[in-house]
Amino acid sequence: MNHEEWSAAQTETSVTVDGHDLSVAYYEGGDPADETLVFVHGVPTWSFLWRGVAPEFEDDYHVVVPDLLGYGNSASHDGFGRSIRAQEGMLEDLLDGLGQETVTLVAHDIGGGAALRFAAHSPERVDRFVASNIVCYDSWPVEFIVNLGLPDTAGMDDEEFEGQLDFAFAEGAYGEADPEFVEGMKAPWLREGGKRAISRAAVSTNTNHTMEIPYEDIDADLLCLWAKDDVMQPIEYGERLADDVGGKVVELDDAFHWVVEDRTETYREELRQFLTETDTKGGSE
């Protein structure tokens, strides 16, 4: 589906984070009685990143794909934090509201940082964890995102701003980018207030929020499904995470940072194999 169809299929709810009541948009599919897979995106994407993956699991799993606070169709006004610490709080409150006690987390980029915090602070609630080119330890922020967090972004010329987004999504893809992907990723940021929103999201990157994670407390089966050629989140960080938490690394060739988009079919296959090999209590079959 295109980004407009994805948006139309989303549900909206309210979460409370740091004393703020905030709207969260999320895509949901499958039977809520089945095991729940939660797909978490990063910066500067939104839940549409998972368009080619999450819906393919609806026949066997309950699928939840939220827009992080400040992203996509979730609340994006001023007056609240977008840090991964705040995003962890959003995940917790969203899952509580949906009545989901235990889940499998599938995460990319800063969504992975938020998911790691949740998995470490609530290990009994995360059975499995799939990490794809996520931020962890001191792997971030990256220069491009830091620059977007500068105050000048809010007043940037429209053409220059869209050029920055094209650089991120079109030139950041492996090979020729799918125009539907690029258009969909840009759409929320091209709305009124989008420049301000992306600058607020970008300035919220904070290495301390991943350096303080007690990684040893994570008790989930871990798969690092990682694009080998990503220069923004190098695979060495995935290997370190797998060593510290206990898990395996699967390298995906012919993919950069947008690994979910670059290798969609292979990503689905590897994810399904991992889900098949592991049970719902964090132990291998």
Q: Taking the model in full, what pTM does it have?
A: 0.97
Quote the pLDDT of residue 280: 55
pLDDT per position as a tens digit, 12-44:
999 999 999 999 999 999 999 999 999 999 999
Exposure of 52 by Cβ count < 10 A (0-12 exposed, 13-18 middle, 19+ buried)? middle
- Give, as one character, the DSSP assignment of residue 74: S
Residue 38's contacts (CB-CB under 8 Å, 6 or more residues apart) are 64, 65, 66, 91, 95, 100, 103, 104, 105, 106, 115
DSSP per-residue letters across 205-249: --THHHHT--GGG--SEEEEEEETT-SSS-HHHHHHHHHHHTEEE
For residues 105 and 122, is the Cβ–Cβ distance under 8 A? no
Tokens of 213: 């994670």
Which strands, in side-by-side order, build the sheet including 62-66? 11-17, 20-29, 62-66, 36-40, 103-108, 126-134, 221-227, 247-252
Residue 276's contacts (CB-CB under 8 Å, 6 or more residues apart) are none
Tell me the three state secondary structure of residue 29: strand
Quote the pLDDT of residue 285: 39
pLDDT per position as a tens digit, 44-101:
999 999 999 999 999 999 999 999 999 999 999 999 999 999 999 999 999 999 999 9
Cis peptide before 141 (omega within 30 of 0): yes
The mean predicted confidence, pLDDT, of the chain is: 96
Q: Is the pLDDT of residue 130 over 70?
A: yes
Q: Give the alpha-carbon dihedral of 256, 60, 99, 214, to 10 degrees.
A: -40
